[in-house]
Amino acid sequence: MRPPCNDSGMPELPEVETIRRQLVARLPGDPIVAAWSHPSPKFADAPLAIGSSIVELDRRGKYLIARLDDGRDLIVHLGMTGSLAVHPQAVTPTDADPHLRASWTFGSGPQLRFRDVRRFGRIAVTERDDHRSLPTLATLGPEPLGPGFTGEHLHRALALSSRAVKTQLLSQRPVAGVGNIYADEALWAARVHPASTQVTRPQAERLASMIRHVLSEGLDHVGTTLRDYVDGNGERGGHQLHLSCYGRGGEPCERCGQPLVRGVLDGRTTTWCSSCQRRPRRRT
């Protein structure tokens, strides 16, 4: 399975959740009998899973967490270009493509392969829920589509830092799984300026609601396009996502008609409407 890509190529929550759902149906339940990893230390943990079976596949933010039957976790972060797929038959790494970073072969024959062209991905085997070796995962905020994520939570979490609201969202701390695309979309939908350093309670309520909305829509779209792709009808998933703001700098805002502004905020390309998303005046 090719990764379902949104148009930045970077998997965000909807893409990773879609991969998880696809893999759940295909992962064998029997033990891993062989494994290989690329020499980079980022992938070196892969063989530690030999001898274990995968009993469940969870997702936290943009991390996939395979629960092993011996009480450990096999964690995969897809980075920018990573993809995971189950193949019916094992290949030896030397026969495989040059972008293969890890593989796990099950006793019944199939092989799970991790491919990552740009090598921003990561593999770790840890004790169950002991994620100290992965600081971003260890400090991850609540799941945006779960019950722990509310406007009240977001308001409190954003107040802990004086950084721009978009930068905070991308840190994964106030909430898990929001990347550049869905951050721009949710901020636009909630009419919150991405550089705001003070977010009011009503703004936080709107923003939390819009984060849930854009991610749910993304999940529906990615799931649909991926099914099309698997059926052989489609191009890469996600290009059909309807985006109101991200990547539309210079085009008229769908709400007010003013041209959307494209700029850089803390090193990330950012698009917003300077008319609908007013930057609040700092309190003196």
- As a three-state string, the secondary structure of 184-225 is HHHHHHHCCCCCCCCCCHHHHHHHHHHHHHHHHHHHHHHHHH
**Which of residues 72, 153, 255, 279 is near Zn ion by CB under 5 A?**
255
Contact status: 256 vs Zn ion (CB under 5 A): yes
Q: Nearer to Zn ion by C-beta: 169 or 276?
A: 276
Tokens of 131: 């994620």
Residue 154 vs 253, nearer CB to Zn ion:
253
CA atoms within 13 A on the CB side of 87: 17
Reported as type and span, the H/E element at residue 265 is strand 261-265
**Spacing of C-alpha 170 from chain mean position:** 11
**Cβ–Cβ contacts within 10 Å for residue 266, how many?**
14
Q: Among 7, 153, 275, 279, which residue interacts with Zn ion (rule: CB under 5 A)?
A: 275
Does residue 147 have an active-site annotation?
A: no
Our CB check for Zn ion shows the closer of 226 and 273 to be 273
Q: Does residue number 76 form part of the binding site for Zn ion (CB under 5 A)? A: no
Q: Which of 62, 113, 115, 122 is catalytic?
A: 62
Stretch that binds Zn ion, among 13-21, 33-41, 177-185, 254-262 (CB under 5 A): 254-262
Stretch that binds Zn ion, among 38-46, 71-79, 121-129, 268-276 (CB under 5 A): 268-276
Q: Does 276 bind Zn ion (CB under 5 A)?
A: yes
Q: Give the residue among 210, 242, 213, 247 at the shortest CA–CA distance from 225.
A: 242
Write the DSSP symbol of residue 259: B
Size of the site for Zn ion (CB under 5 A): 6
62 is catalytic: yes
Other CB atoms within 10 A of residue 233 CB: 9
166 is catalytic: no
Q: How far apart are CA 284 and CA 280, in angstroms?
A: 12
Tokens of 67: 């629960």
| 101 vs 193, beta carbon nearer Zn ion | 193
If the CB atoms of residues 189 and 253 are measured against Zn ion, the closer one turns out to be 253
Residue 173: CB minimum distance to Zn ion, A = 28
State the catalytic residue, choosing from 212, 268, 279, 280: 268
| 274 forms part of the interface with Zn ion (CB under 5 A) | no
Candidates 186, 222, 253, 265: give the one binding Zn ion (CB under 5 A).
Answer: 253
**What is the 3-state composition of the chain as percent helix, strand, coil, each rounded to the nearest 5?**
30, 20, 50
Active site residue 12: yes
Residue 149's φ and ψ, nearest 5 degrees, are: -105, 110
Q: Are 247 and 230 in contact (CB under 8 A)?
A: no
The residues that touch Zn ion, with contacts defined as CB under 5 A, are: 253, 255-256, 273, 275-276
Catalytic residues: 11-12, 62, 268
